[in-house]
Structure 1
């Protein structure tokens, strides 16, 4: 398999390295090479190439106490402006332009008052004529748990870190140390930043920096994500599914969807829909086949909106590339 993205033609080894970074974004090249059974020098060269060209980005995302999905309807011609404005909103995790009823769909994390967000901040966003808010109740799967499917179970086990959770709402946030905000800022910019560079920036010892990073990840204060555009790995068709389900079927549907390779994100939400699902596939025919699965009999209604452009993923703003979106 070979996919062309930027200057890099993605080989099977490129895809396996991307998959390895999805499992542990901070894994040293030596550990990835051992797990994949490949020469360390080759793995390091390919990995650096992927990072430098932006095919994959490793970054920390800060855990916030609460998150809400905001679905926006916009004045004609203003959806891109709205999506970009939501990208700049503090706490925005992703911002997508979509087809269907919603012109823009975003996820926003917040620690304070939801009233301020919904009565002051979102209504002031340019282009919005109407919006709906869906608080996130639980994550079945986040992008941290999504895999490109290029590793064997044994390879994935060899790379799985000891600490870190895919459930961003699993625990109450704990008090942070004096330099933790600076350390988090370093990792938000570069999730693979080494301890020496973190120590220099925060003016602590490398040993102290290492301990704090381990605590921040292990306690769920941050999550380290490998961010890759689905289209770059042969999955150009992306859709947001708004699933309405009887209460006694939500858990069953959630458990089934979590294990599907097409699903890169899955959240239980409050509102008219009970589940929000982000699906990525190669073709519209594959999306149709997924939507035609008999398991959907457990849902009352499924609304499908295609993602036509992503402006932000995993807390990172994206450069807009009209040719590869």
Structure 2
């Protein structure tokens, strides 16, 4: 499925501000509010676009798994069902499956040495702790909207800070609000208040605090293919320490990059890139300015996204 022009604009607007009111969105896009509300609601109800939240943790790790023949899909499904995974991909290359896990630093050892080894089909795995994010998927902005519209729609409550922060200790009401926002990031303040048992004004104030203090990270989850970006690849990049920051920042400025993180291990940066076709991928790797800072690049193609943005995308 490929979205039409208005649907792409609505999806892009939700990436900028997942809670953007239809009225504001319509005014910025120059469309009738009723049309934008109807088309936007259809995208959300169909699941083509999902506005969900993730509770960040102070530690993140990428797990590249190699599986026994015939078990890759089962392993990916098992990983996707874990509450602590944010994305789970099956890929080409030396690894069969890649997952990102958010956890507490104190639990990292248990996750890596006790929990993950019991994953169905797992033969062996490599862990890459995340040192720093240059971009997460909540900061991905395909080139759909012009600069003026982007600035008009951008929300101060949902920045892509890229910072790994400890969770605050939340009271019962804030915990329930956070859980509700993670399940449905566009739930109205009135509905949030009813769910938690507080006034609409309190629900608004506390929700804005949760979002503004990085206790809930909202994102609009959209498959790149609906924008006509049919090739998705993971770039495993080696670079010298003096080039690392410059390389990461250069990648984060490009609309083709959905995700880029500095990692510990044999590679220094991993980047998730979406482009229209293989020729565009080749050009991105060989003809882009960022490549001058890389000493080597290994490429894996994404075959299937079992989970994106903390949301299971396929059930089979």
Q: TM-score, normalised by structure 1?
A: 0.93
> Among residues 162, 171, 183, which one is paired with 1:177 in the alignment?
171
Matches within 5 A, 1:215-226: 215-226=209-220
Deviating 4+ runs (over 4 angstroms): none
Aligned partner of 2:145 in structure 1 is 151
Residues 50-100 of structure 1 deviation map (CA, whole Å, 9 limit, x = unaligned):
111111111111111111000001111111111111111231000000000
Q: Which has the higher helix share?
A: 2
Residue 79, structure 1, aligned to residue 79, structure 2: no
Matches within 5 A, 1:76-225: 76-111=69-104, 112-225=106-219
Find the aligned partners of 2:23 and 2:47 in 1 and give their Cα distance.
21
Find the aligned partners of 2:174 and 2:277 in 1 and give their Cα distance.
43
How far is the alpha carbon of 1:39 from its aligned partner?
1.2
Find the aligned partners of 2:257 and 2:186 in 1 and give their Cα distance.
26
Aligned partner of 1:253 in structure 2 is 247
Secondary structure of 2:219's counterpart equals strand
Find the aligned partners of 1:197 and 1:100 in 2 and give their Cα distance.
46
What number of residue pairs does the alignment pair up?
314
Residues 199-226 of structure 1 deviation map (CA, whole Å, 9 limit, x = unaligned):
1111111111111100000000011100
Find the aligned partners of 2:78 and 2:163 in 1 and give their Cα distance.
26
Compared CA separation, residues 168 and 212, structure 1 to 2 (3 A): farther
CA contact (8 A) 2:56 2:165 kept: no
Residues 175-206 of structure 1 deviation map (CA, whole Å, 9 limit, x = unaligned):
32331221122112211000111111111111
Residue 275, structure 1, aligned to residue 269, structure 2: yes
The range that moved more, 197-206 or 101-110, is 197-206
CA contact (8 A) 1:15 1:148 kept: no
Find the aligned partners of 1:243 and 1:38 in 2 and give their Cα distance.
43
Aligned partner of 1:20 in structure 2 is 13
Residue 52, structure 1, aligned to residue 45, structure 2: yes
> Among residues 291, 294, 300, which one is paired with 1:299 in the alignment?
294
Unaligned runs of 5+ in 1: none
Secondary structure of 2:31's counterpart equals coil
CA contact (8 A) 2:18 2:220 kept: yes
How far is the alpha carbon of 1:301 from its aligned partner?
1.4
How far is the alpha carbon of 1:163 from its aligned partner?
2.3
CA contact (8 A) 2:182 2:216 kept: no
Aligned partner of 2:311 in structure 1 is 316
Unaligned runs of 5+ in 2: none
CA contact (8 A) 1:66 1:169 kept: no
